[in-house]
């Protein structure tokens, strides 16, 4: 199946676009759009729909950290087995295999710094094949998924 | 007490305030209006273009440029026009970089029009042409374009409007406010009427990059038209650079040398930082244009389909970022329709008669807004016409 990049990009950018709207904008039938969405969901191309929340504008306490892991690769399995063990923890928000001076980048979220520190010390560091960890706490999120976090944008175009 | 009416020029005092202004004054500072009135892109200027401007300021390159604009920019403009629209100009003496397309229009009219000369202007059209002609003591001659002709200028209408006094034809396509376009075949018909006359064409191609499904044709690329055409364009719409105030005109050297004099005495040169940013835009901005045009096209289809679905007759606009639906079926004038839509549903669109008397019965709706914004405006409009 040839993938419809324009369609996927539109949805990636705004998952609230309705099948009706997408159909009109892409010159397709509503039924075809619905079928396409279902197919992409079934095939795991579309994995989910989430909302971007700027928690800094709420009173919820939380802390995010990036943990760089050096990992000894396993014979035949590379980093996959270790990665799987790590991403199964619900605290882990994102996990990437990286090129460069470390191997896995783990983004985790906790309620406090103590909680994150505990997770690293008790769960990640002792794990088999983990050679070293380096934890960096996020101080402020400026931009995520292409969206700038901060003051709301207002339409500054004047009446001219 | 001074009698200002005696001090001020009668010509200027005789110029009517713009109809679009009248409607914007009504909007005033009303809060929470869902506006579809704006005539400029909602995208910010692409960052690499802004960066070029920032870097130029940091390096302190803030002096005047040559009157006609930086040679590097004029060269890029010529490369661009050749690359995209197959018209060729000499950067040395056939290009003037101006303060927006607006200045270019003013230069063209002032250089050509003498008192009593007639300038043919198809309407509905952007509001500036008539008043600029009047300021040059010329006489605007308006041709009404019609929905059944897809708001194109027809050769028949043009032929009928030409008199021995006709000096210039304004060709404002792709058109604000109708979204109408003139393709090669349409322009060929116009060219046929003009061949053998001395009529100069002022081709305002500021929306040339915003055509959907086909590429814009410049009338200067047609046989026998280059010699009589002043091609006007700019960076505002294609590159989302409205506030940089940068445009240009291209014409045979015999014309630019005269326009140069007006520009030199009235303006000196266009802003230097904007010129530097424009060089970057022309060199590396083709992808930005494509990205923005693709997004406008999706919104265009969405808004036309939305209006038609609620029963509003909407002509298939194929250029710029406006649609021009017929709203005369609701027993109200354009002014009444737009005023009541604003009062009752808080949605602002511009009455079509702001762009010429023949726009009565229509309204201009801009889709330089997010789909979400357009969707909520359409929802309110539907309630209004069904309520």
State the ipTM, two decimals: 0.83
A with B: how many residue pairs have Cβ under 8 Å apart? 33
- Note the pLDDT of residue A154: 85
**Residue in chain B nearest A159 by alpha carbon:** B24
Does the pLDDT value for residue B5 go beyond 90?
yes
**What strands lie across the sheet with A63-71, from one edge to the other?**
A92-97, A104-110, A63-71, A130-137
Task: Please give the Cα distance from B368 to B374 (Å, whole number).
Answer: 9
CB contact under 8 A, A157 and B375: no
Preferred mutation among A18, A157, A160 to probe B, highest tally of B CBs within 10 A: A157
CB contact under 8 A, B24 and A155: no
- Note the pLDDT of residue B159: 98
Set of chain A residues whose Cβ sits within 8 Å of the Cβ of B375: 21
> Cis omega before residue A69 (within 30°)?
no
- Note the pLDDT of residue B93: 98
Set of chain A residues whose Cβ sits within 8 Å of the Cβ of B212: none
pLDDT in tens, B19-58: 888 888 888 778 889 999 999 999 999 999 999 999 999 9
Preferred mutation among A6, A22, A23, A24 to probe B, highest tally of B CBs within 10 A: A24
> B316-353: buried (b, 16+ CB within 10 Å) or exposed (e) per residue?
ebbbbbbbbbbbbebeebbbebbbebbeebbbbbbbbb
Q: Which of B24, B301, B305 comes nearest A159 by C-beta?
A: B24
pLDDT in tens, B170-224: 999 999 999 999 999 999 999 999 999 999 999 999 999 999 999 999 999 999 9
pLDDT in tens, A53-91: 999 999 999 999 999 999 999 888 889 999 999 999 999
Å between A82 CA and nearest CA of chain B: 40
CB contact under 8 A, B371 and A155: no
Preferred mutation among A11, A17, A23, A25 to probe B, highest tally of B CBs within 10 A: A25
DSSP type of residue A78:
B
Which parts of chain A sit beneath pLDDT 70?
1
Q: Where are the domains of chain A?
A: 5-42, 55-139
Mean pLDDT of B326-330: 96
CB contact under 8 A, B371 and A17: yes
pLDDT in tens, B265-297: 999 999 999 999 999 999 999 999 999 999 999
Mean pLDDT of B338-358: 96
Mean pLDDT of B91-108: 98
- Note the pLDDT of residue A1: 55
Are B22 and B354 within 8 A, CB to CB? yes
- Top-tier CATH class for A55-139: alpha beta
Å between B341 CA and nearest CA of chain A: 18
Task: Please give the Cα distance from B350 to B345 (Å, whole number).
Answer: 14
Closest CA relative to residue B42, chosen from B314, B349, B371:
B371
Å between A39 CA and nearest CA of chain B: 23
For chain B, domains (ranges, CATH) are 4-45+287-386 (3.90.1150.10), 63-284 (3.40.640.10)
Does the pLDDT value for residue B259 go beyond 80?
yes
Cα B14 from chain centre: 24
Mean pLDDT of B133-142: 98
Residue B277: HSE in the Cβ half-sphere, 13 Å Cα cutoff: 29
CB contact under 8 A, A21 and B371: yes
């Amino acid at each position: 199946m040839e993938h419809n990049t324009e369609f996927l990009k539109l949805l990636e950018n705004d998952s609230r676009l309705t099948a009706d709207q997408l159909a009109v904008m892409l010159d397709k039938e509503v039924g075809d759009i619905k079928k396409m969405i279902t197919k992409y969901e079934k095939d795991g191309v579309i994995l989910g729909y989430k909302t971007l929340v700027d928690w800094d504008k709420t009173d919820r306490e939380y802390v995010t950290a990036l943990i760089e892991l050096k990992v000894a690769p396993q014979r035949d399995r590379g980093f996959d087995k270790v990665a799987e063990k790590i991403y199964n923890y619900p605290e882990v928000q994102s996990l990437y295999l990286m090129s460069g001076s470390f191997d896995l980048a783990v983004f985790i979220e906790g309620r406090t710094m103590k909680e994150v520190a505990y997770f690293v010390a008790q769960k990640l560091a002792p794990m088999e094949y983990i050679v070293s960890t380096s934890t960096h706490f996020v101080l402020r999120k400026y931009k995520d998924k292409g969206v700038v976090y901060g003051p709301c944008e207002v339409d500054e175009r004047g009446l001219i | 007490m001074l009698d200002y009416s005696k001090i001020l020029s009668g010509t200027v005092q005789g110029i009517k305030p713009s109809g679009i202004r009248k409607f914007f004054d009504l909007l005033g500072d009303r809060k929470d209006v869902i506006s579809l009135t704006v005539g400029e892109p909602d995208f910010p200027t692409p960052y690499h273009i802004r960066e070029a401007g920032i870097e130029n300021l940091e390096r302190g390159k803030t002096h005047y440029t040559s009157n006609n604009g930086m040679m590097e920019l004029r060269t890029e403009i010529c490369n661009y026009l050749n690359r995209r629209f197959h018209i060729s100009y000499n950067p040395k003496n056939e290009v003037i970089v101006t303060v927006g397309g607006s200045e270019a229009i003013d230069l063209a009219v002032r250089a050509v029009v003498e008192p009593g000369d007639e300038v043919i202007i198809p309407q509905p059209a952007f509001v500036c042409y008539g008043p600029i002609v009047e300021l040059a003591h010329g006489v605007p001659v308006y041709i009404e374009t019609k929905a059944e002709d897809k708001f194109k200028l027809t050769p028949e209408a043009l032929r009928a409007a030409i008199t021995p006094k006709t000096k210039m034809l304004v060709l404002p396509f792709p058109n604000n406010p109708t979204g109408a376009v003139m393709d090669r075949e349409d322009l060929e018909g116009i060219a046929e009427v003009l061949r053998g006359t001395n009529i100069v064409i002022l081709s305002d191609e500021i929306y040339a990059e915003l055509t959907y499904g086909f590429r814009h044709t410049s009338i200067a690329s047609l046989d026998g038209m280059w010699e009589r055409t002043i091609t006007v364009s700019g960076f505002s719409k294609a590159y989302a650079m409205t506030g940089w105030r940068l445009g240009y005109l291209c014409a045979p050297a015999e014309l630019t040398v005269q326009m140069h004099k007006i520009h030199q005495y009235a303006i000196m040169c266009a802003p230097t930082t904007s010129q530097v940013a424009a060089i970057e835009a022309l060199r590396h901005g083709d992808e930005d244009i494509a990205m923005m045009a693709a997004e406008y096209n999706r919104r265009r289809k969405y808004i036309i389909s939305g209006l038609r679905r609620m029963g509003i007759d909407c002509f298939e606009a194929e250029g710029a970022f406006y649609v021009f639906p017929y709203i005369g079926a609701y027993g109200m004038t354009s002014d009444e329709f737009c005023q009541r839509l604003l009062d009752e549903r808080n949605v602002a669109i511009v009455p079509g008669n702001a762009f010429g008397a023949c726009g009565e019965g229509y309204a201009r709706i801009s889709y330089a807004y997010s789909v979400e914004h357009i969707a909520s405006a359409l929802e309110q409009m539907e309630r209004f016409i069904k309520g």
